[in-house]
């Protein structure tokens, strides 16, 4: 998943980035409202962690502009514990959840997982495709009950394929979800990661759709 973190306090932003990246997501950060609004307006993110007290443009204004432009990605807002009015205003502006500062990182990760599950059909933290089980809470993968060792890029790639199993995903789309920065993106390397995943997963799980991209299917169910 691609997550946008909008937080102007450098230490907290770094802590959020490290924790969310460790959970298997691709992260981009913005430290002011103008940058955040631009990123959320032109890039596709699966969720946003949005602080309300931002320089240049406050978080509520950013959120209102996104919603007015029909940018409907889930947004978790961060507020000061005493600012109850900010919580109400944030929810009215279109936030999906809020968390008061200070908070425990595990709670933030749990709330983020809940928001991401609402994106699709997944009702639990465990996603299944045939013998493959991906546990989003523990960031691990099992095949026929046995742990599978994956690199961070391989895990991110498999996570997106699992979330949208049966759908054809282009190399460009996969690349955007793996690499946080435009300059790092190279759709050709996706072939390398797909090849590595194929060697680790049961035969037939990842199907190539010529000229379009890849999709994850249950073994024996490829079209």
pLDDT for 123 equals 47
Res. 119 pLDDT band, cuts 50 70 90 = low
Q: Residue 155, SS3? A: helix
Share of the chain above pLDDT 90, in %: 47
pLDDT tens per residue, range 19-45? 999 888 889 999 999 999 999 999 889
How far is it, in rounded angstroms, from Cα 120 to Cα 81? Answer: 31
The first and second tokens of residue 185, run together, are: 């993106």
Q: Does the model's pTM come out above 0.75? A: no
- How far is the CA of 35 from the CAs of 25, 39, 54, 56, 102, in angstroms? 21, 6, 11, 9, 24
Those residues whose C-beta lies under 8 Å from the C-beta of residue 96, and which sit 6 or more positions away, are 74, 75, 76, 115, 118
Average pLDDT, the chain: 86
All structural domains of the chain: 2-117 (3.40.50.2300), 126-216 (1.10.10.10)
Residues 109 and 20 sit within 8 Å (Cβ to Cβ): yes
Residues 9 and 184 sit within 8 Å (Cβ to Cβ): no
pLDDT tens per residue, range 56-87? 999 999 999 999 998 989 999 998 766 667 77
């Amino acid at each position: 998943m691609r997550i946008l973190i909008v937080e102007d306090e450098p230490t907290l932003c770094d802590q959020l980035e490290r924790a969310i990246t460790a959970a298997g997501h691709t992260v981009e950060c913005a430290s002011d409202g103008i940058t955040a609004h631009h990123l959320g307006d032109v890039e596709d993110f699966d969720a946003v962690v949005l602080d309300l007290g931002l320089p240049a443009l406050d978080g509520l204004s950013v959120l209102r502009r996104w919603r007015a432009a029909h940018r409907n990605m889930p947004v978790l807002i961060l507020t000061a514990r005493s600012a109850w009015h900010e919580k109400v205003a944030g929810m009215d502006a279109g936030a999906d959840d809020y968390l008061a500062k200070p908070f425990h990182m595990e709670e933030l990760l749990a709330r983020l997982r809940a928001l991401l599950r609402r994106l699709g059909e997944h009702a639990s933290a465990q996603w299944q495709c045939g013998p493959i089980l991906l546990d989003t809470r523990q960031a691990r993968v099992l095949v026929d009950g046995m742990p599978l060792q994956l690199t961070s890029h391989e895990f991110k790639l498999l996570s997106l394929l699992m979330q949208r199993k049966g759908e054809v995903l282009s190399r460009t789309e996969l690349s955007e979800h793996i690499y946080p920065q435009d300059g790092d993106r190279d759709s050709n390397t996706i072939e390398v990661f797909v090849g590595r995943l194929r060697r680790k997963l049961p035969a037939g799980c990842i199907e190539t759709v010529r000229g379009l991209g890849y999709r994850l299917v249950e073994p024996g169910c490829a079209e």
